[in-house]
Amino acid sequence: MKAKAYGFFYLLIAVAAVLVTLKTLNWLPTILQKDMLRRFDSIEEVRAKLNMRDVYVPSYFPESITWPPSEILAQTKPYPAVLIIFHAPKTRDATLVISQAVSDAFTDNSLIPLVRIARAVPYDLKNRKALLEVGTCANTEPCSRLSWTENSYRIRLVMKAPPFELIKIAESMLR
């Protein structure tokens, strides 16, 4: 009877050791690659943990979009970038995506792809040269994209909506 109890005890210790090892292996990349693209819980956490002071966040949102964002992804290596994603409450599809990056290589086109661009026009966004693109998304929904350069960042907003609300959101990001 004692041998079975010791065997069970050793099995529990082995299972606990395996669980601790797996948890450590899962946690290790986050520590080793803390500057690579990863998920954050808030904009304040991005600013604090990645030492990014210039994170552009809107102060205006239409009724269909609520704060806080559904997802926040950020990195400082290989270049600083932030991706803020808002999902529609009912469908859980991305409805607004705000990206800012130092490199043009950072794109968010797969989250809300504009299938057809009907018009692309230069737009004066509070004395900044911006590009406004209006078209349709996958389900022939109206979609808009607005992009400009702010300091060293390339900022891009994409929304499943006509451009009017997107412009208000973008204007609220600028001081």
Distance CA 96, CA 68 (A): 12
Asked whether residue 34 carries a pLDDT value surpassing 80, the answer given is no
Q: pLDDT value at position 21?
A: 67
CB contact at 8 A, 100 and 81 = yes
Residues 76-111: tens digit of each pLDDT: 888 888 999 998 877 778 889 999 998 877 776 678
The reported pTM is 0.76
Q: Is the CB of residue 15 less than 8 Å from the CB of residue 7?
A: no
**Amino acid symbol at 4:** K
- Three-class SS state of 56: coil
As a whole-number percent, the residues of the chain with pLDDT over 70 amount to: 87
Q: Which pLDDT does position 26 carry in this prediction? A: 65
Residue 132 CA to residue 127 CA, distance in Å, equals 14
Residues 40-62 pLDDT 10s: 998 898 888 888 888 899 998 88
Q: Which of 12-21, 52-61, 153-162 has the lowest mean pLDDT?
A: 12-21
